[in-house]
Chain A
Amino acid sequence: MHAETDVLVIGAGGAGMYAAIEAARGGSRVLLIDRSLIGRGGATVMAQMTVAVALGAETPDHWSHHYADTLGAGRGLCAEPLARLLCEEGPACIDEMDEWGVGWARKDGRIVQAQAPGHDRPRCVYVDFLNTGPAVSKTLRTVVNRAQGIRKAGDLAVVDLLRVDGAVVGAAAWHVATGAPVTIAAKTTVLATGGLTRLYRRNSASANMGGDGYALALRAGAPLLDMEFVQFFPIGHLAPRLIGMDPIMWDPFRYKLGGRLLNGQKEEFTSRYGSDESGKYVLARDVATYAIIKEVEAGRGSPHGGAYLSFEHCPPAALREAFGPVIDRLAANHIDLTRMPVEVAPIAHYHMGGIAADARMATEVPGLYAAGEAVGGANGANRLSGNAITEALVFGRRAGRSAAERAGGMKTQPFRPAAARAALDLIAAPARGGGPNTAEMVETLRATMADDVGPLRDAARLTHALERIAELSRALGDRPSGEGTAFDLRRLEWFDLRNMLLVARVVAATALAREESRGAHQREDFPATAPDWRVNQVVRWRDGQLALARSAAAPREMAAQ
């Protein structure tokens, strides 16, 4: 099957949908595709928290203050033009979402802005504490549906971007629902595929965020930036099994009620790591992550290998007021917060690194743009809370505009099947019986990344991870397993693993090269932040090899730390 479009948008989360809307407004025909269903997968729909934006609705604010906080959190590594774009254009996108009826929480007619860690003033808007992401997704999906010129197609897993004379001219995909190979000719292409949290055993995003876009960009010749910086969320839910809820749901309640973090012996322990909370929610994410992991290593973890989070000191009425109907959903999981703590542990949450792009969201490769979490650099070594949805909206809008502008000035070129030959050869590979259990391999990779490329790293573990990744790559082979028939998950997972193993290798290799600790990258064998390392690592794929290079980080005025 073959499709033609002006602008191809890969990934239908927040960034992809905004990109599609903006490209269509710019007069382009748009094809919006997703490997899952449209507007259901990705990270946006899972975001239960808040959105940082200098609206000044709560207290006077200006984008430059948000910018200063973003650069500060980024520990000296933010790509300034991207961070600035995020902060400067955030208010316009939030206002537009408001016009589209997202329903930002209001009080006395004005939008409410909450204080969140790392911000110098109340700056974070929300819909309601557990419904922000779903509301953002639903709103964008409604706008996409009523826009002229956007064609949508779910169940399309992109195998490779197509190039002619160095420029990206579309994509080759595998139609998961039927098993059919698909070629798409596009004047411009936007990668809005989100991050790589699926590489980790426990994570807070959808199962389809395995870093596809990073692998697609890399193989198409675009460099990646800051790939060693994976953000872990310290108090992801660990036990008892909690279903029907996002694993990072505890954060706003901890913020409201001051939930206590306790070790396996029910003692407060964060003061041992230089930060005494005294029941307040002030612990930085990286410090909390470090403290929990170290306590577990010392044999003082909770039964499932984390820490306890206790609200037992809170009066039942206060719990009911803060949690509302969530109390009932917890009860359905046999969790009674008045009588028991839950167990929490760090969980992979977000990727600061990603595809290198300029402030127009253009990559180095002509015709290829990136948007949202797929873009690297805006958040440096550590993302400020609330910046992820803002980034999805702002970068999505900008990428859609840039992609439409370029497409508008281009003539339709005849599709050149030769550009798709290698990808189609993979997609249409004959059935291969036996072979590795791809589902098991995914689990093995996730365990390796969690154990050896987690929040706390050292050379021995990173080297071990690289060896394990190489073994898995050999086991995967270079010809797809499975049959390639309708919804053949073995073949889908083979393509997933092809991307996941490449991206895992990039994360481990860049983490091994960065011999210092900074933000989300903590090396136990190099615990200090090294001034010499105030540089970004850039990765390219050349002749089947990874090439690492360093480039000076942009920030001038913000000191590291």
Chain B
Amino acid sequence: MTDRAQLKIWRGLDRAAGCWETHEVPFEPGQSVLDGLRWIRAHRDPSLAIRFSCINANACKECMIELDGKTVYACTARLEPREMTLAPLSNKALVRDLVTEIAPPAERFS
């Protein structure tokens, strides 16, 4: 059983000069938003930036994004057969696309 989700994703290196891009992704019920983002990277556009490490264990806490305006972990938010709006965290410095600077200052290279 395959459903389809429309992922409307914010893309850009600069908040003032970003754009929205929509990709349709196939999924089986139970799959995560991160599964959908990884599908886009492997099948449509490898330049899409998303930060993740543990993939689905909710252990690394690296994949925080905003889904429809709410902060979620992409690895535990589920894909749904509708348009889902994905944006970088609005309260963190933007790095690229869905990636923000979430490390404490003392753990960044400077």
Contacts and interface: CB of A to CB of B under 8 A. Distances in A.
Contact of A244 (B53, B75, B96, B101): B75
Interface residues of A, number: 48
A224 interface: no
Contact of B42 (A33, A242, A440): A440
Most B Cβ at <10 Å: residue of A177, A182, A440, A482 = A177
Contact of A177 (B28, B97, B106, B108): B108
A46 B49 contact: no
Contacts of A482: 47
Contacts of B42: 437, 439-440, 442-443
Nearest to B75: A243
Interface in B23-56: 28-32, 35, 38, 41-43, 46-56
- Interface residue SS majority, chain A: loop
Interface in A245-288: 245-247
Contacts of A175: 109
A487 B96 contact: yes
B59 interface: yes
A38 B31 CA distance: 27
Contacts of A410: none
Contact of B59 (A134, A208, A439): A134
A246 B57 contact: yes
A40 B53 contact: yes
Contacts of A412: none
B99 interface: yes
Interface size classification for chain B: 35 or more
Contacts of B29: 241, 334
A156 B109 contact: yes
Interface in A198-253: 206-208, 240-247
A207 B54 contact: yes
Contact of A37 (B46, B62, B95): B62
B57 A46 contact: yes
A53 to B, nearest CB: 23
The 4 closest A-B pairs by CB, nearest first: A241-B30, A153-B109, A439-B41, A487-B96
Given A207-B54, A486-B96, 10 more contacts: A37-B53, A38-B103, A153-B108, A242-B30, A243-B56, A244-B56, A247-B57, A437-B46, A442-B42, A485-B13
10 contacts: A155-B108, A206-B54, A240-B30, A243-B75, A440-B42, A442-B42, A482-B47, A486-B95, A490-B46, A490-B47
Interface of B: 13, 28-32, 35, 38, 41-43, 46-62, 75-76, 78, 95-97, 99, 101-103, 106-110
Interface of A: 1, 3, 33, 36-38, 40-41, 45-46, 133-134, 145, 152-156, 175, 177, 182, 206-208, 240-247, 333-334, 437-440, 442-443, 482, 485-490, 493
